[in-house]
Every structure is written in C-alpha cells, then in structure tokens.
Amino acid sequence: MARKVLVGLSGGVDSTVTALLLQKAGYAVTGVYMKLHENEAYHRENFAKASRVADYLGIDIHFLDLSDTFREAVYDYFVEGYAAGITPNPCVVCNRRIKFGALVDFADSLGIETVATGHYARREGEAIYMARDKSKDQSYFLAEVRREVIPRLLFPLGERYKSDVKRLAASIEPLRQIAEQKESSEICFVENDYTEILARHMPIDREGEVLNEAGEVVGSHRGYMHYTIGKRRGFTVRGAHEPHYVLSLDARNNRIVVGTRDRLAKRRFRIGRINLFTEAREFYALVKVRYRSEAVPGWVVIEGEEGIVELERDVFGLAQGQFAVFYEGERLLGGGEILGE
C-alpha cells in the first residue's frame, strides 16, 4: 500500500510541484489548503488554483480554516510586537504553531503520518538541513519547529533549484499558468508594507523626537513604528555630517535613538524562547541573526530559559524580536528569539 502524505497546497508553484513529485514517487497524496488570514478574495482565488492542481493530480483536497488560531498565534503577535517596539518574525512563529503544528494535528485526524510542504529545506532522519539552492533556503524559518515532528516531515524541493521547479511546472500544460505567476510575498498577510497592517489597528503617524546616544534631541521622525533597527532614512538629524542609523526604539515615549553605523556593531546578546535540535547546552555554531544575514561563527551558552550568544565578529542591525538561528555546517541546530544585549 502506498504511503500516505498530506501536502499543504497554496495554489503556488512550490506546493504544486511538491505534490507532483511525491505522487510520482509513489505516495498517496492528499492536499489541504490552509485559510490563515481574513482576505476572502485572496483565499477564493488561491483555493481555486489549488483545487485545479488537485483535479489534475486526481487527489482529494481539504479546505482547513485556521484563521482563528493564526490570528491569535501569528497576526496578533506581529501587531503587538511592532507596537512594543520590537521586530517580530511571524514566519518563524507560523511554522511552529500553524504549518507544523495545527497542520500536523489535522494530518493526525485523517490518519496520515507524513506531512509535506514546498519549503526549500532538507530533512534527513531527525535533522533539518539547508536547501541545495542557497538563494531560496528556508531552513532559518524552521528553527522553532517542535523537534518531535521533524521525522514526519518531507521537503521534496530541498534538493532542487527554484529554476528547475518552475521549469518542471511550466512543462505541464495545466500547470503552466501557476509556474508563470508572481512570487508570493514573504509574509502572507502583508501585501505591500508592514505599516499598512499596523495602521488598521492603531495610529502610527505620530511625530516624535530623534535622540542621540547622549539623550539629546537632534531631530524628528514620523512615528516609531515606521522604523526598525539599522534603518537610515525617514528621519531628520540636525548637523549630521555622515549617515545616521536607528540604534534603538522607545515605544513608550515615541522616540528613536540614532548613531553612526559603527554603533550598530554587536557581538554579544541574549536569547529566549529557545528551541534546540541538539542536547548540548554549550556549543560552537554558525549564527544567523536575520533570514538574509551572513552566518557568523560564535559560541552559544544556554542557562535555564535564556542563553548568551558570543560571536567572533560584529553583526549589524541586531533587532530584538528577530531570531538567532544556529547551524553546524548545513545542519540546523535550532534558535532563539533575540532579547537584547
């Protein structure tokens, strides 16, 4: 009997090719479309695409409404994080709570052991590794996934390059339109800019003071939620002869602190919300402090519910609320939320 697999179908090229490859490999594929946010037009369009894929493959597809769970676990976390002056990472949280949390629970309800998605990452045994296509690698976003579910996951695109995935879809007439469509945004519920989401819930355009590190008022800005650590535009600094960057945010007083680029350099910081795929509590690793940042070697020491990361060289733009993610070579070791210095 063919092994059953539940595939998350979004209507996009990656999930489509994932289902196609698994069916070709002999799996009994069942599809599921996850409704996450509240954009009804978005879901009508994409569920229709996912349904066309299911029809082409001759498989069943379920419509799974996870919008209430998503709102509480991901959307509210995103909004409340920016309101508090941190830089949240909703995709990391979503993968733990939704895509490899609620989706795995749904698979259990269907009696299906294995779950697959179109993520660009590799799973070998009980470990996750970077994808072959480093320009598309998404292993960073899997750092908070529960360790016990890893053996149940499949990532068929992990060994492939994006160009090959699109070429495969384009070679099949009923799938060609999906292959040619525009790439989806990194954060599914953000269409253009994250501030558009925040403005639905609170006033974000409130002029405030720009301070230097000595606490002196040196300019003005348009509202602290428009800024993240390392941003260098959109505020004024009187008398500045070189570029200034956002060093920190004061949400309570609607202030931002700025300084020259060298003041962004950090080597040591604290982490919380720790999730590891190793038993070690002190280890050497390659550390990424943002999805697109270069991995920097350093030591990680876990002490109770928090940890300390000591890097061998500076990183710039370290932001509270983002995730530090750890690797041994290409193997994902886990990560933790950046708490500050």
Q: What is the 3-state secondary structure (H, E, C) of the chain?
A: CCCEEEEECCCCHHHHHHHHHHHHCCCEEEEEEEECCCCHHHHHHHHHHHHHHHHHHCCCEEEEECHHHHHHHHHHHHHHHHHCCCCCCHHHHHHHHHHHHHHHHHHHHHCCCEEECCCCEEEECCEEEECCCCCCCCHHHHCCCCHHHHHHEECHHHHCCHHHHHHHHHCCHHHHHHHHCCCCCCCCCCCCCHHHHHCCCCCCCCCEEEECCCCCEEEEECCHHHCCCCCCCCECCCCCCCCCEEEEEECCCCEEEEECHHHHCEEEEEEEEEEECCCCCEEEEEEECCCCCCCEEEEEEEECCEEEEEEEEEECCCCCCCEEEEEECCEEEEEEEEEEC
Q: Choose the catalytic residue: 188, 256, 333, 338.
A: 188
pLDDT single digits (tens) 105-134 = 999 999 999 999 999 999 999 999 999 999
Summarize pLDDT for 214-250 with one digit per residue, the tens.
Answer: 999 999 999 999 999 999 999 999 988 899 999 999 9
Q: Which domains does the chain have, with CATH numbers?
A: 4-180 (3.40.50.620), 207-263 (2.30.30), 266-340 (2.40.30.10)
Using 50, 70 and 90 to split pLDDT, how confident is the model at 85? very high
0.85 cut: is pTM over it?
yes
Q: Tell me: the pLDDT tens digits for 157-199?
A: 999 999 999 999 888 887 788 877 777 667 888 888 899 999 9
Mean pLDDT to the nearest integer, 300-327: 96
Q: Is 94 a catalytic residue?
A: yes
Given the residues 6, 20, 94, 115, select the one marked as catalytic: 94
